Amino acid sequence: MDRLVINGGYLIDPTNRISSKLNIAIQNGKIVEISKEELQGDTIIDAKGLIVSPGFIDCHIHEDSYNEEKDMFDISIFECMLNMGVTTAIGGNCGIGPYDIPGYIEAVERLGIPINLGMLVPHDILRKIEGINNKYKSASLEEIKKMRAKAVEYLDMGLLGISFGIRYIPGLEKNELIEVSSACQKDNKLIAAHIRDDASNVIPATQEFINIGRELKVPIEISHIGSMASYGQMDEFLSLVDSERSRGLDIGMDCYPYNAFSTKIGETTYDDGFLERYNISYNSIEIAEGKYKGKRCTDRIFKRLRQQAPETITIGHVMREEEVDKAISHPDVIVASDGLMNNFQGHPRAAGTFPRLISEYVKNKKILTLYQAIEKITYLPAKKFGINKGTLGINADADIVIFDFNEIKDNATFQEPALGPSGIKYVIIDGKVALENGKIIRDNLGRFIKK
């Protein structure tokens, strides 16, 4: 079997506390040798002057859909992920995901996709399987029992936990949250949530979710905290989380490095009262696709799209940058994109999050060291979600990104959200080169990962 060698690079591997110039050899998809001596192989990558890191892990994406009729994936976000150095992502977030999860997994394993993918059990899909399509409706005891059974079935298939979009389902009550989440107790898998409320109501919403974790004694993950608490509440929010952690709760949180959120215009985020909640006008909401792409909302545009095209992706320019910075700088906050794309249209976080973390927070703002930044996108998410990724240790999966620290930066904008970054030289998945000098050369190396 071919031996791939990476010589001359500066290795950063927070899992093993490595930060020095070392060389790596790869065979059969695994790292087999690490040495300060120059190594020999069938293929040699000269990484002199470059950073060699575990492949980045994005623990919060909204995965591309599988087209059953064409037997193919409608590739969009997976390609953007690979372009920015992500080798593993986790889908099924915010309670949203594919309706046919077994079919989706089978297609990933059979066809291959650009990156490795793990998934959470999306709670809203459990509801839809039971025929509950009204998000304002409470579930019956019988429906909840069936949802829990289905969640157990999917968790036993290797899914990593359960995700909830509590904000998106006003009818979701405590008994449903508790009963469905209890499926995670058997294997101590986590529950993740887009919590019930944000801005001035973020603290009671956070406490509600914390109480679930405490009652069930399972790990919890609070999703995209920037979009929840970056309106003047971040200090209080972080204090609450740290207090709970100090008392033994396994609690995590993730954040993307942008001060604008993204969601579909028909979601409950935009139910009556949102202008007052964020203290904004319609002009703060940008349309990300379709006829009005790039335009800011007016009363007329907002109401028309909400009624006629509720799936339209929007961008809310509403968060405070200094509050997002506080979140990113916290030592236990994972950086994740919350990327959502439709035919390469959406928010630039889906194509720029990881290069932006390094360019903006390490090089420009100097809030983080490079080691800390890489820790947030390799070791921390791998540890939290319990996956065997995010390390350059011997016998580890050879998922690696090689980049130029001086060149790396995000290029994606709100006008062109899918533009690839600068500075990513190589992305290696399963010991094979998937991307070289910003060009994808293999787009089917990704496999489904289970726990």
Q: What is the pLDDT of residue 44?
A: 97
Q: Are 18 and 11 in contact (CB under 8 A)?
A: yes
Q: What is each CA distance from 416 to 253, 294, 366, 404, in whole angstroms?
A: 28, 10, 26, 23
Query: Per-residue pLDDT for 180 more than 70?
Result: yes
Domain topology for 55-259+319-390 = TIM Barrel (3.20.20)
Q: pLDDT above 70 covers what percent of the chain?
A: 100
- What is the per-residue pLDDT across 252-265, written as a single tens digit (0 to 9) for each? 999 999 999 999 99
Question: What average pLDDT does this structure show over 339-349?
Answer: 94
Locus of tokens 């990558």: 45
- What is the per-residue pLDDT across 371-387, written as a single tens digit (0 to 9) for each? 999 999 999 999 999 99
Query: Per-residue pLDDT for 411 more than 80?
Result: yes
Q: What is each CA distance from 202 to 195, 196, 199, 269, in whole angstroms?
A: 8, 8, 5, 13
Instruction: State the distance between the two ends of the chain, measured CA to CA, in whole angstroms.
Output: 28
Q: What is the pLDDT of residue 235?
A: 98
**Three-state secondary structure call for residue 120:** coil
Q: What is the pLDDT of residue 22?
A: 98
Structure pTM? Answer: 0.97
What gap in Å lies between CA 407 and CA 348, rounded to an integer?
Answer: 19
Of the pLDDT bands very low, low, confident and very high (cuts 50, 70, 90), residue 434 is: very high
**Cβ-Cβ contacts under 8 Å for 259 (sequence gap 6 or more):** 226, 230, 317, 319, 320, 321, 323, 324
Q: pLDDT above 90 covers what percent of the chain?
A: 99
What gap in Å lies between CA 25 and CA 11, rounded to an integer?
Answer: 13
Of the pLDDT bands very low, low, confident and very high (cuts 50, 70, 90), residue 202 is: very high
Question: What average pLDDT does this structure show over 339-365?
Answer: 96
Helices 141-156, 174-181: axis angle to 10 degrees equals: 30
Question: What average pLDDT does this structure show over 309-330?
Answer: 96
- What is the per-residue pLDDT across 31-71, written as a single tens digit (0 to 9) for each? 999 999 999 999 999 999 999 999 999 999 999 999 999 99
Question: What average pLDDT does this structure show over 275-293?
Answer: 95
What gap in Å lies between CA 95 and CA 60, rounded to an integer?
Answer: 11
Q: Are strands 56-58 and 424-429 parallel, antiparallel or unpaired?
A: unpaired
Q: What is the pLDDT of residue 50?
A: 98
Domain residue spans of the chain: 55-259+319-390
Of the pLDDT bands very low, low, confident and very high (cuts 50, 70, 90), residue 1 is: low
Query: Per-residue pLDDT for 237 more than 80?
Result: yes
What is the average pLDDT score of the chain? Answer: 97
SS3 breakdown of the chain: % helix, strand, coil, rounded to 5? 35, 25, 40
Q: What is the pLDDT of residue 334?
A: 98
- Return the bridge partners of 315, or none: 262, 286
